[in-house]
């Protein structure tokens, strides 16, 4: 179908939640590349917002998912599901979690984590412990409750009144966090690296103090790893870079390689708080989604993609910093962890650079006027990184 026809149908029939979209539609992908309906080849350095971490049409993924698709897509959670049990086992054996629950998205996973934290204390005879402290600039989802947890007013304001019981404090300000804790606090929930707001990592000492505070005050520590999980930061899970273990962590995005799936992962003593009937999902953990998760786990492990994310992330950041002092003085800071990277300018050119990159057939994103956000597939090579940096240099210079 021609792009103009797609746009016409979209304008007429789709709710306008995304505004004016970028003028392209894709019909196939291979590796780190996408081909548009016009036959143009693009290089994806945003991975469908950190979803397509194994790239497109990976043969292992395609075979496993296709085989499952031909046999069984869905059956009720009233019955045992082989791939669900195997993926839960795989995730627990690779992490600090003892039990897993599967949902359909990151927002659903975070909603499940919030429910679990609250019911955990209620069943211990402490119903007054229900408040959760989150961080300013955080993003936890678009349900009413996960909007309540999100530390960005622009997302939540139109939908007030929201779910009661959330406090927000600045990232990496331990004293502010400590002061916010009361007898009503049940948990602290945070992203190890804030993604949507511009890639802001939590500092090592800060998170270690947060963990100590949770132990001291009998609080649960929840990590939202919807974006940082599955190798993105250079470790399979973001918490592994900090030498601490959360009581609960959530996954989604890259876990399914493009098939919708989310996960609530928890230590056993916390997970036991859920009794039969207190949480559930019709589609969550279905055979197709869990097979996709198993394929992604297999590929990440066999191809050492977490290690590649660390190696290529370091290379991109170091190379760009060198460029900043020589060819690109408009770059003021490079932030990130693994292949979760922000490029911040000292002048408001980010939207223009993103547009220039699109014209050069690269897909990236901007956050506001000064920040570019890149989330390339974890399969990129040094040559892919060099090509991106060269193209970015051209785009910046053409913008100025």
Pair 258, 373 in one domain: no
Domain boundary residue among 302, 324, 343?
A: 302
Q: What is the pLDDT of residue 218?
A: 98
Domain boundary among 271, 302, 333: 302
pLDDT band at 327 (very low <50, low <70, confident <90, very high): confident
40 and 7 belong to one structural domain: yes
Q: What percent of the chain has pLDDT over 90?
A: 98
Summarize the confidence of residues 193-213 as an average pLDDT. Answer: 98
Residue 343 shares a structural domain with residue 369: yes
CATH classification at residue 223 = 3.40.640.10
With cut-offs at 50, 70 and 90, classify the pLDDT of residue 18: very high
pLDDT surpasses 90 at 326:
no
In a shared domain, residues 260 and 328: no
Given 302, 330, 349, which residue is the final one in a domain?
A: 302
Does pLDDT of 243 surpass 90?
Answer: yes
Span 197-221, mean pLDDT? 98
Domain residues for the domain of 329 are 3-57+304-399
pLDDT, tens digit, 9 for 90 and up, residues 77-101: 999 999 999 999 999 999 999 999 9
Is residue 327 a part of any domain in this protein? Answer: yes
Q: So which residues are the catalytic ones?
A: 139, 224, 253
Give the tens place of pLDDT for each residue, 149-171.
Answer: 999 999 999 999 999 999 999 99
SS3 string of the chain?
CCHHHHHHHHHHHCCCCCCCCCCCCEEEEEECEEEECCCCEEEECCHHHHCCCCCECCHHHHHHHHHHHHHCCCCCCCCCCHHHHHHHHHHHHCCCCCEEEEECCHHHHHHHHHHHHHHHHHCCCCCCCCEEEEECCCCCCCCHHHHHHCCCHHHHHHHCCCCCCEEEECCCCHHHHHHHCCCCEEEEEECCEECCCCCEECCHHHHHHHHHHHHHHCCEEEEECCCCCCCCCCCCCHHHHCCCCCCEEEECHHHHCCCCCEEEEECHHHHCCCCCCCCCCCCCCCHHHHHHHHHHHHHHHHCCHHHHHHHHHHHHHHHHHHHHHHCCCCEEEEEEECCEEEEEECCCCHHHHHHHHHHCCEECEEECCCEEEECCCCCCCHHHHHHHHHHHHHHHHHHC
Residue 62 within a domain: no
At 352 the pLDDT is 98
| For range 266-287, the mean pLDDT | 98
Number of domains in the chain: 2
Residue 199 lies in a domain: yes
Q: What is the pTM of this model?
A: 0.97
């Amino acid at each position: 179908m021609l792009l103009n026809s797609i746009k016409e149908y979209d304008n007429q029939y789709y709710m306008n939640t995304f505004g004016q979209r970028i003028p392209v539609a894709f019909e196939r992908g291979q590796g780190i590349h996408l081909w548009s309906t016009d036959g143009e080849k693009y290089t994806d350095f945003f991975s469908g917002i950190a979803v397509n971490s194994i790239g497109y049409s990976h043969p292992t993924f395609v075979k496993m998912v296709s085989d499952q698709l031909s046999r069984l897509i869905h059956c009720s959670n009233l019955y045992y599901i082989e791939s669900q049990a195997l993926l839960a086992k795989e995730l627990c054996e690779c992490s600090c979690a003892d039990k897993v629950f599967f949902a359909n998205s990151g927002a659903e996973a975070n909603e499940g984590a919030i429910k679990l934290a609250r019911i955990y204390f209620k069943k211990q005879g402490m119903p007054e412990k229900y408040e959760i402290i989150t961080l300013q600039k955080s993003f936890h989802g678009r349900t009413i409750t996960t909007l309540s947890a999100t530390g960005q007013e622009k997302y939540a304001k139109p939908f007030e009144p929201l779910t009661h019981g959330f406090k927000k404090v600045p990232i990496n300000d331990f004293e502010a966090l400590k002061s916010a804790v009361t007898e009503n606090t049940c948990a602290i929930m945070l992203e190890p690296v804030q993604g949507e707001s511009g890639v802001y990592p939590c500092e090592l000492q800060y998170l270690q103090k947060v963990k100590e505070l949770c132990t001291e005050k009998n609080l649960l520590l929840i990590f939202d790893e919807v974006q940082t999980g599955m190798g993105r930061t250079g470790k399979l899970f973001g918490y592994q870079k900090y030498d601490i273990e959360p009581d609960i962590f959530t996954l989604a995005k890259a876990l399914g390689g493009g098939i919708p799936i989310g996960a609530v992962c928890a230590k056993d003593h916390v997970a036991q708080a859920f009794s039969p009937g207190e949480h559930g999902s019709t589609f969550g953990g279905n055979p197709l989604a869990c097979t996709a998760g198993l394929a992604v786990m297999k590929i990440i492990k066999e191809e050492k993609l977490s290690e590649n994310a660390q190696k290529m992330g370091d290379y991109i950041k170091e190379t760009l910093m060198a460029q900043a002092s020589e060819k690109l003085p408009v770059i003021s800071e490079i932030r990130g962890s693994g292949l979760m990277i922000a490029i911040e300018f000292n002048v408001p050119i980010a939207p223009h650079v993103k547009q220039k990159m699109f014209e050069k057939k690269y897909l990236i994103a901007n956050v506001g006027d000064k920040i570019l956000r890149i989330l390339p597939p974890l399969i990129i090579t040094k040559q892919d990184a060099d090509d991106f940096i060269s193209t970015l240099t051209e785009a910046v210079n053409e913008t100025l």
